Amino acid sequence: MEPKIEEKLLLKNIKPTPMRQLVYRMLTQEETALSLSELESKFDKVDKATLYRTLKTFEAHQLIHSIDDGSGSIRYALCDEDCTCRPEQLHLHFVCKICQKTYCLKEKPIPQPDLLDGFTYESANFIVKGVCPSCQK
């Protein structure tokens, strides 16, 4: 499982430093999108600034995507293998009002919005709030 991480980074033209491999591994272990601080607290000890820059690098190379779920902080989740972060590939995000977790619903594409004349569409962010399966009943 592990030997591949280095290659995943290389595939996206990211130099696979130990730090980056560590962060990548951590991200693969999460089923929900994490904020910088949440991610920080998953480690015994990391520098927030380094983590921050690592995430920025990952995002710039489309290894992860960021989600603004309205909580006030941005969350990050791994992109799919073939993701190019283009509008057609954008998916819904779901925020549970109980556990506050942010889920990527990768199989649920964002519907093409119906806009008024004069507005052009480039990208979108569709956040749904409700209760997630693990918090039901």
Partner DNA sequence: ATTTCTTTGCAACTCGGTTGCATCCCAAAT
Partner DNA sequence: ATTTGGGATGCAACCGAGTTGCAAAGAAAT
Catalog residues that contact a second copy under the rule CB under 8 A: 68, 70, 72, 92, 94, 97, 103, 105, 107-108, 111, 113-133, 136
Nearest-angstrom CA–CA distance, 40 and 120 = 37
Q: Which helix (H) or strand (E) holds 108?
A: strand 102-109
Look at residue 35 and give the partner it binds from DNA, a second copy, none, a contact being a CB closer than 5 to 8 Å depending on partner kind.
DNA
- Give the three-class secondary structure for 63: coil
Nearest-angstrom CA–CA distance, 69 and 50 = 23
From candidates 3, 72, 111, 113, binder to DNA by CB under 7 A: 72
Q: Retrieve residue 84's tokens.
A: 């190019």
From candidates 4, 48, 97, 129, binder to DNA by CB under 7 A: 48
Q: Does 132 bind DNA (CB under 7 A)?
A: no
Q: Does 36 bind DNA (CB under 7 A)?
A: yes
Q: Which helix (H) or strand (E) holds 65?
A: strand 64-68
Least spacing, CB of residue 126 vs a second copy, in Å = 5
Nearest-angstrom CA–CA distance, 36 and 52 = 7
Which residues would be at the binding site for DNA (CB under 7 A)? 15, 17-20, 35-37, 46-50, 52-54, 56-57, 72-74
